[in-house]
Amino acid sequence: MDEIGRRLRAAREARGITLEVAEDETKIRRKYIEALEAGQEAVLPGDAYIKGFLRTYGNYLGLDGTALVDEYKQHKEQPTDGTALVSASAQRPAAPRQALPPDEAKREERREALRRERAARRQDEPPARAERDVPQEQAPSAQPAVRYTPRPRRPIRKESNGLRNAGLAALAVAVIGAVAYLGWLIFSQTAPPPQDPGKQQQQEPQPLPPTSSNPPAVTPPPTLPDPPKVTMSQPTATDFIFVVPAKEITVSMELKGGNVWVEWTLDGKTSSATLPNGTIREFKGTNIRLRTGHLDGVSLVVNGQRFEQLVKGGGPYTLTFKGQ
């Protein structure tokens, strides 16, 4: 791990990158970067984090992050002295059983003699004793069978049947009457009231309101003026000047043509980094200046307005964004 840390530190110092810039661009805390370069595994949070930090930090410095992770795995898989101790302890023979005291040995002999005597008695028992051990499901039932005696029915009285039939008939008549009354009530509420034929003849149709042949005029929506656009000028072959009609400027840079070295100055503060292909980086400020190694495949969105394929080949280029 110390050898890996020395290589990481040498690569960072060769590129002239400070710990603050490395922390800002890799999103790895400074104390973890210092622990990686010093080979201090105890400071790092865990084995999985160490592998992720090695891959990210190594690729950022231009090294092979995957190769660094493989080298760290080989370092972790080396056998330690603890395995030899475990194997040696596993090969030790088991301790011999301690002999019992004389009194306890005599008691154990008596118990063994009683167990042998009981086993001999079980073998000499007659078959009648064995029949008692038959499971409950196979043994014949000694209880007498229970006989079912039907209970005599009571004679049905004809008088009670007549009264019951009369009550059912009265109930049916009451239900039919209630249904008929309910139907009449619903029909009387839903039927329209009768109209006098004389009044129908006296009513005259009212004339319809006059309609105009000309349709009403449609007022077109007001036309809004187009918002001010971002203008770009090219006074020289490598310098571009963008005039943005706003105080706050937002520049979004998307890389589609490979890795690009970029140096940016936001309101007087300068930083730089090598951005990998596919990165989308956003810059905000009132006065922005970008310097790139090349513009192949670089797409810019300035305050919502897109600029693509500015120029091919050559470089480096300077892009200045001025607000109004």
The domain locations on the chain are 2-76, 231-323
Question: Considering only 72-81, 116-125, 191-200, 248-257, which range has the smallest mean pLDDT?
Answer: 191-200
Q: Which CATH number fits domain 2-76: 1.10.260.40, 3.30.200.20, 3.40.50.150, 1.10.10.10?
A: 1.10.260.40
Of 209-223, 260-274, 298-312, least confident by mean pLDDT is: 209-223
Distance CA 12, CA 174 (A): 104
User: In this model, does residue 127 exceed pLDDT 70?
Assistant: no
pLDDT tens across 105-117, in order? 778 888 888 888 8
At residue 232 the predicted structure's pLDDT band, cuts being 50, 70 and 90, is confident
Helices (H), 191-296: 197-202
Let me know: does 30 contact 20? Beta carbons within 8 Å.
Answer: yes
Say what the pLDDT of residue 265 is: 93
In order, the DSSP letters of 158-200 are HHHHHHHHHHHHHHHHHHHHHHHHHHHHHHHHHSPPP--HHHH
Lowest mean pLDDT among 161-170, 242-251, 265-274: 161-170
Helix axis angle for 2-15 and 30-38, nearest 10°, is 120
Contact 281, 275 (CB under 8 A): yes
Model confidence, pTM: 0.32
State the average pLDDT over residues 180-204. 67
Q: Is 190 exposed, middle or buried (0-12, 13-18, 19+ CB in 10 A)?
A: exposed
Q: What is the pLDDT of residue 166?
A: 82
| Position 199 pLDDT exceeds 60 | no
Q: Across all residues in the chain, what is the average pLDDT?
A: 75
How confident is the model over 70-92, as pLDDT tens digits?
A: 888 888 776 554 443 333 344 44
